[in-house]
Amino acid sequence: QQQVKQSPQSLIVQKGGISIINCAYENTAFDYFPWYQQFPGKGPALLIAIRPDVSEKKEGRFTISFNKSAKQFSLHIMDSQPGDSATYFCAASVSGSARQLTFGSGTQLTVLP
Amino acid sequence: NAGVTQTPKFRILKIGQSMTLQCAQDMNHNYMYWYRQDPGMGLKLIYYSVGAGITDKGEVPNGYNVSRSTTEDFPLRLELAAPSQTSVYFCASSYSPGVPNNEQFFGPGTRLTVL
């Protein structure tokens, strides 16, 4: 049973545009929600993360919006650049249990120059 | 620091063969993980370890075995390779509990094909 659903599967955005990727979760015990960025041939790397006690977190051009009541969170990439072209994964974990991450299925982002 | 290293980068196995995927980290992390990544499916946890001598199953452990004799190393063993194990395998590590944001650091992956 997939516990974190991610959409869209792929996304094409013009340079300078806003990229938005959405995730929804089922397990209300999740208390940590990271986003990972993966370039071709590389392992995923942490981009930004949020806890459910805040509704938004911003780091540079990247923002996570979190809606606890709807059990949804999203990644917004402002002023998208060709260098942002990568696969993005949302994930979630529960305190304890070795912080096992449950990943979404991924979104392949292409930013056109 | 080299971070998380994995060997080999690529491997082709025949059905029924065995192999060990190597993973090492030099960050003195307590936790280590093995994931497999299939197209369009995200990453699935195979096994994890919270310290030397302690391992546990993840979401998709069938067909795999692990051991953790040292803090640094966490090898993944495939005993009887099957085509369904064709995938990209990632090892990851993270710091000990008590750290608020337990970021997982990933290795570069091993691409395995079973024919």
pLDDT digits (tens, 9 = 90+) for B43-74: 999 999 999 999 999 999 999 999 999 999 99
* Pairwise CB contact (< 8 Å): A98 & B45: no
Contacts with B49 from chain A: Cβ below 8 Å = 98
Specify the pairing of strand B31-37 against strand B43-51. antiparallel
Which 3 state secondary structure label does DSSP give A84? helix
Binding-site residues on chain B for chain A (CB distance < 8 A): 4, 31, 33, 40-45, 48-50, 56, 58, 90, 92, 94, 97, 101-109
Question: Is residue B1 pLDDT above 80, yes or no?
Answer: no
Once rounded to an integer, what is the mean pLDDT over residues A88-96? 89
Once rounded to an integer, what is the mean pLDDT over residues B87-92? 97
Strand partners, B23: B6
* Pairwise CB contact (< 8 Å): A98 & B41: no
pLDDT category at B100 given cuts 50, 70, 90 is: low
Query: B115: which residues sit within 8 A by CB, 6+ positions away?
Result: B12, B13, B14, B15, B83
The minimum CA-CA distance between A78 and chain B, rounded to whole Å, is 24
* Pairwise CB contact (< 8 Å): A32 & B108: no
- Give the residue among A34, A2, A13 at the shortest CA–CA distance from A108: A13
What one-letter code names the amino acid at A20? Answer: I
Torsion sign (Cα): A68, A72, A76, A82: positive
- Give the residue among A93, A51, A95 at the shortest CA–CA distance from A73: A51
The count of C-alpha atoms lying within 13 angstroms of the C-alpha of A25, restricted to the half-sphere facing its C-beta, is 26
The minimum CA-CA distance between A33 and chain B, rounded to whole Å, is 10
What one-letter code names the amino acid at A106? Answer: G
